[in-house]
Amino acid sequence: MKPTAEREHTRPRILYAASTQSHLVRFHMPYIEALRGTCEVRLMAAGGDVEIPVAFEKRMFSPANLRAVRQIRRVLRQERFDAVILNTSLAAFLVRAAMLGMRKRPWVLNIVHGYLFGLHPRGLRERVLLLCEKLTRRQTDRIAVMNREDLDIANRYRLCRGKVVFLRGMGFRMPPGDPGALHAEAGKLRAQLAPAPQERLLAFVGELSRRKNQIFLIRALARLRGEGLPVRLLLVGEGSERAALEAEIAALGLSSAVCLAGNREPVFPYLAAADLYVSASLTEGLPFNLMEAMACGLPVIASDVKGQRDLLREAPGRLYPPGDMEAFCRAVRRALAEPAMGCGSVDYPWLKAYRLEAVFDENLQIMKGWTE
């Protein structure tokens, strides 16, 4: 789809949208900066310093989101974009919902960072989320997915008008700067987080949410410590579940063993301070946090869900059935018994294919699909 000739501007106009500004900053700025070399790019997100702020509400069908749809529809009519690049399930649905019934609309790419339903949706919530994708498939010209299951989902349910393409993620960066300085900073953090020589530090980075399932990690820590294993847990991130996690930590008597560190940037020193990276996520797309932990050489124990399965398929024994406490604790005990622990101890040779420099050109070309 070519830019419309009747417009007065000569540079293509692109709307780049996500539910939050932090998502755009964390995953997309290299692409946004590259597109701005030849296009006018306007950012849409909730909060922060963006050109088009929209008050997205996490509950998809809340009255606030109905107001957001009306606002987005006005913006689309006024701005007359050539292309829209969508990210995050909520923003992707609401922007496309705003296009329903429009006679003329921009070319639309939906970058799927992880469908919140499986190939065979379970329960009412997953079925509703799939229905939302089906309702807006005629407003979707191309889909880009990041794991094999989402590729199967998009193709099986025909969730767009055109191509479904596969990305190796948005690209992560290796730990920057001097490795010696990283290790020195990690050492200082380690002394604060796990001061006793015999202690082992488990870490997870991600939004404090039910989907990330940190409460499972807290309960597993209580079990492992009850067995006499000297382990502590570091949780980096913020989110709506903080109060619930704090209450669980207090109820289990783990206040001195669990650190809720909040959002931290850069995150690499915190990862390098740990002995083992653990994830209990219930669903993922292609988790950045897991790639960053692998880049630090950390051994990983992760739930066997899409995205994590893609990254660890060549690392036997690192996946466990989601929610299986016994399997998780067994995997942690085995990993901690291995002689090589900590930063730089594990090599993941296939990880280089997911670096920013390896995926950038191909991803940028996919984003420019309206020119084809």
Least confident of 10-24, 58-72, 92-106, 130-144: 58-72
Nearest to 102 by CA among 76, 141, 82, 71: 76
- Boundaries of every domain in the chain: 13-171+356-371, 179-354
Mean pLDDT computed over every residue of the chain: 92
Alpha-carbon distance of 1 to 94, in angstroms, equals 22
The answer to whether the 13-171+356-371 and 179-354 domains have the same CATH topology is: yes
Strand partners, 145: 166
Nearest to 214 by CA among 253, 255, 263, 249: 249
What's the DSSP call for residue 106?
-
Cβ neighbours of 7 (radius 10 Å): 12
Q: For residue 2, what pLDDT band results from cuts at 50, 70 and 90?
A: very low
For 244-273, what is the mean pLDDT? 96
Q: Is 155 helix (H, G, I), strand (E, B) or coil?
A: helix
Alpha-carbon distance of 96 to 138, in angstroms, equals 9
Strand partners, 87: 111
CATH for the stretch 179-354: 3.40.50.2000
User: Which amino acid would we find at residue 140?
Assistant: T
Q: Is 345 helix (H, G, I), strand (E, B) or coil?
A: coil
Residue recorded with tokens 């900073």 = 185
Q: For residue 5, what pLDDT band results from cuts at 50, 70 and 90?
A: very low
User: Which amino acid would we find at residue 50?
Assistant: V
User: Which amino acid would we find at residue 366?
Assistant: I
Length of the chain: 372
Helix or strand (DSSP H, E) at 337: helix 325-337
pLDDT at residue number 3: 45
For 170-187, what is the mean pLDDT? 88
Q: For residue 346, what pLDDT band results from cuts at 50, 70 and 90?
A: confident
Nearest to 147 by CA among 8, 283, 11, 295: 283
Render pLDDT for 33-81 as a digit per residue (tens, 0 to 9): 999 999 999 999 997 789 999 999 888 788 889 999 999 999 999 999 9
pTM, two decimals, is: 0.90
Question: Residue 21: exposed, middle, or buried by beta-carbon count in 10 A (0-12, 13-18, 19+)?
Answer: middle
For 228-257, what is the mean pLDDT? 97
Alpha-carbon distance of 251 to 118, in angstroms, equals 34
Render pLDDT for 282-319 as a digit per residue (tens, 0 to 9): 999 999 999 999 998 899 999 999 999 999 988 878 99
The listed CATH number (3.40.50.300, 3.40.50.2000, 3.30.930.10, 3.60.20.10) that belongs to domain 13-171+356-371:
3.40.50.2000
Q: What sign does the dihedral 65-66-70-73 (CA atoms) show?
A: positive
Question: Residue 168: exposed, middle, or buried by beta-carbon count in 10 A (0-12, 13-18, 19+)?
Answer: middle
- Residue pair 283/305 in contact (Cβ under 8 Å)? The answer is yes
Question: Residue 314: exposed, middle, or buried by beta-carbon count in 10 A (0-12, 13-18, 19+)?
Answer: exposed
Strand partners, 20: 46
Q: What sign does the dihedral 135-136-140-143 (CA atoms) show?
A: negative
Helix or strand (DSSP H, E) at 108: strand 107-111
Phi and psi torsions of 235, nearest 5°: -115, 115
What angle, rounded to 10 degrees, do the helices at 123-135 and 89-99 form?
40
Q: For residue 337, what pLDDT band results from cuts at 50, 70 and 90?
A: confident
Judge whether residue 31 has pLDDT over 80. Answer: yes
pLDDT at residue number 88: 95
For residue 291, give both structure tokens.
């790639």
- Residue pair 174/356 in contact (Cβ under 8 Å)? The answer is no
Cβ neighbours of 371 (radius 10 Å): 12
pLDDT at residue number 9: 56
pLDDT at residue number 6: 47
pLDDT at residue number 345: 61
